[in-house]
């Protein structure tokens, strides 16, 4: 039998994202050369939220892109789903400070794939990682720069970030 526990409600998610937006601006001393790129699919919605919050704080709309990592995954042949999304980055990455956004950080393999994909598209000045939930169990030496909530989990547990139909995050749940 599965047991679902609410970790963050809608307001908590918004507070966490506002804090991350402030941290990003503080760390980068403003929005110069800053771009936000979300990893499909949860990361895209969170990246859009961060872009909006940065605009509210700083009054500047930073470029927003989406990246699909399917072609960079290392488990082709053992996957059940071969569906592929599209990468949509309509600005040059050269010399940009990229804020890479995902909803949940787990083994780190998705982030590795996303970094490979980004570097194939250009040569950013740096890549910073913003994630909503860090659940641990890293298999690669990857550490996020901006974290919404640290949440140590068991491997058997799952984390689900729910979004509304308008792609606004409405809650984070732990499923045992």
Partner 1 sequence: MQFQHRHILGIKQFSAEELNFILETSASFKEINTRDIKKVPTLRGKTIINLFFEASTRTRTSFEIAGKRLSADTVNISGSSSSVVKGETLEDTARNIEAMHPNIIVMRHNASGAAAYLAERMGCSVINAGDGTHEHPSQALLDAFTIRQHKGKISGLKVAIVGDITHSRVVRSNIDCLNKLGAEVWISGPKTMLPPGIERLGCKVAANLTEALTEADVVMMLRIQHERQGKTLIPSLREYSRYFGLNDKNLKLAKPDAIVMHPGPMNRGVEISSVVADGPQNVILDQVENGVAVRMALLYLVSGGEKLAEN
Our CB check for partner 1 shows the closer of 114 and 172 to be: 114
Q: What angle do CA 142, 113, 163 make, to 5 degrees?
A: 85
Contacting partner 1 within 95-154 (CB under 8 A): 116-117, 120-122
Is residue 166 involved in binding partner 1 (CB under 8 A)? Answer: no
CB of 83 to partner 1, least distance (A): 6
90 touching partner 1, by CB under 8 A: no
First to last CA, the chain: 8
**83 vs 156, which CB is nearer to partner 1?**
83
**Closest to 25 measured CA to CA, from 99, 92, 105, 89:** 99
Residue of 2, 83, 156, 166 that binds partner 1 (CB under 8 A): 83
As measured in angstroms, the least distance from the Cβ of 150 to partner 1 is: 31
| Shortest reach from residue 137's CB to partner 1, in Å | 24
Rounded Cα–Cα distance for residues 110 and 116 (Å) = 10
- Pair type for strands 146-150 and 126-134: parallel
* Burial label, 162 (beta-carbon count in 10 A; 0-12, 13-18, 19+): middle
Shortest Cβ distance from residue 39 to partner 1 (Å)? 15
Using alpha carbons, select from 9, 143, 29 the residue that is nearest to residue 97: 29
CB of 167 to partner 1, least distance (A): 21
Q: Name the one residue in this structure whose structure tokens are 């794939």.
A: 113
Q: How many residues bind partner 1 (CB under 8 A)?
A: 21
Spatial separation of the C-alpha atoms in residues 91 and 63, rounded to whole Å: 8
Closer by beta carbon to partner 1, 96 or else 135: 96
Identity of the residue, 78 or 166, whose beta carbon is nearer to partner 1 in the bound complex? 78
**Chain contacts with partner 1 (rule: CB under 8 A):** 68, 70-72, 76-87, 116-117, 120-122
């Amino acid at each position: 039998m599965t047991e679902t526990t609410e970790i963050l409600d809608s307001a908590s998610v918004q507070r966490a994202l506002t804090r991350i937006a402030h941290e990003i601006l503080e760390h980068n001393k403003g929005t110069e050369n800053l771009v936000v790129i979300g990893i499909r699919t949860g990361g895209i919605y969170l990246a859009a939220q961060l872009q909006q919050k940065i605009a509210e704080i700083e009054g500047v709309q930073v470029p927003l892109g989406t990246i699909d990592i399917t072609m960079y995954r290392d488990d082709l042949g053992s996957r059940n789903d071969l569906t592929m999304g599209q990468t949509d980055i309509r600005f040059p990455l050269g010399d940009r400070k990229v804020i890479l956004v995902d909803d949940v950080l787990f083994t780190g393999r998705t982030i590795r794939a996303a970094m490979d994909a980004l570097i194939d598209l250009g040569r950013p000045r740096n890549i910073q990682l913003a994630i909503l939930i860090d659940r641990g169990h890293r298999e690669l030496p990857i550490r996020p720069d901006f974290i919404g909530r640290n949440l140590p989990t068991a491997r058997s547990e799952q984390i689900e970030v729910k979004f509304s139909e308008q792609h606004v995050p409405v809650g984070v749940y732990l499923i045992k």
